[in-house]
Amino acid sequence: MGEAIVITSGKGGVGKTTTSANLGTALALQGKKVCLIDTDIGLRNLDVILGLENRIIYDLVDVVEERCKVHQALVKDKRFEDRLFLLPAAQTTDKSAVNPEQMKKLILELKQDYDYVLIDCPAGIEQGFKNAISGADRAIVVTTPEISAVRDADRIIGLLEAEEELEPPKLIINRIRSGMMESGETLDVNEITTHLSIDLLGIVMDDQNVISASNKGEPVVMDPTNPAAIGYRNIARRILGESVPLMTMEKSKAGFFGKIKNMFSK
């Protein structure tokens, strides 16, 4: 039986969907059987990032309302033979169309056939969040190095810790700009992990190719040389139980000068 992992954040737009797509792809690249579920009903995105939008016939709401069987609704990513599938969100209704009990049942069913079920959670702490976490065994909290994102992550971690069926959540810090971090313009990795005091699963660099790759429908993680892709691949290996050291942040020129400037301004 597989494992269900929810990817959540509290604050919107910090990279939950990007992380779901890239981790799902990375795990499939490692030979695992993965099913991604988009629970952002009404605002679906995951299908676009994976380039599967045109192939959707049924969606999550069709499945829970038993208009079709699960396997009919799953969209296969042809790049990975039989290892990567997406259960898309409905676009025409809202989050109240599904309840936590239905999600639990659905995820339990999917765990029979897949090694990993990754659940892309909508922003916020309302119904959509409750649906997304209800069937999960583990949770990953995504934040960026911004104070507002970290604050919302703290709130979400509190809610996740209150769920007895969930293991302690783990953290991904996304969109790191080494220059800004080194010059103290954003919180650094250490400050964030101390403040939130949960385990760090990994960090992902801010990289413009993440956006262009998503637009092409081909997650950036497919490019093994891209710095953000390396971050996602490392995280996938840690999920598989390997111990991979935290990658050292690339020292960009801006970062170096930023640091010197900072020294003088003190």
* Footprint on this chain of ligand ATP (rule: CB under 6 A): 9, 12-18, 40, 45, 122-123, 174-175, 204, 206-207, 210-211, 214, 228
Determine, following the binding rule CB under 8 A, whether residue 161 of this chain makes contact with other proteins: yes
> Between 40 and 47, whose beta carbon lies closer to ligand ATP?
40
> Between 18 and 183, whose beta carbon lies closer to ligand ATP?
18
Tell me how far, at minimum, the Cβ of 144 lies from ligand ATP, in Å: 8
Applying CB under 8 A, the span of 15-23, 35-43, 130-138, 158-166 interacting with other proteins comes to: 158-166
Nearest CA-CA partner of 155 in 131, 128, 130, 124: 124
Tell me how far, at minimum, the Cβ of 45 lies from ligand ATP, in Å: 5
Nearest CA-CA partner of 21 in 33, 4, 9, 38: 38
Tell me how far, at minimum, the Cβ of 159 lies from other proteins, in Å: 8
Determine, following the binding rule CB under 5 A, whether residue 17 of this chain makes contact with Mg ion: yes
Phi first, then psi, for residue 163 (nearest 5°) are -85, 115
Q: Locate tokens 């490019």: which residue?
A: 223
Determine, following the binding rule CB under 8 A, whether residue 155 of this chain makes contact with other proteins: yes
Binding mask 193-212 for other proteins (x = CB under 8 A): --x-x---------------
Do 219 and 247 touch, CB atoms closer than 8 A?
Answer: no
> Between 79 and 151, whose beta carbon lies closer to other proteins?
151
Burial 223-253 (b: 16+ CB within 10 A, else e): eeebbbbbbbbbbbbbbeeeeeeeeebeeee
Cα distances (Å, whole numbers) of residue 227 to 59, 80, 171, 249, 250: 33, 22, 19, 9, 9
> Between 17 and 102, whose beta carbon lies closer to Mg ion?
17
Distance CA 27, CA 167 (A): 20
Compute how many residues bind Mg ion; rule: CB under 5 A: 3
Do 200 and 189 touch, CB atoms closer than 8 A?
Answer: yes
Determine, following the binding rule CB under 8 A, whether residue 12 of this chain makes contact with other proteins: no
> Between 70 and 171, whose beta carbon lies closer to ligand ATP?
171
> Between 147 and 211, whose beta carbon lies closer to other proteins?
147
Per CB under 8 A, residues contacting other proteins are 151-152, 154-155, 157-159, 161, 195, 197
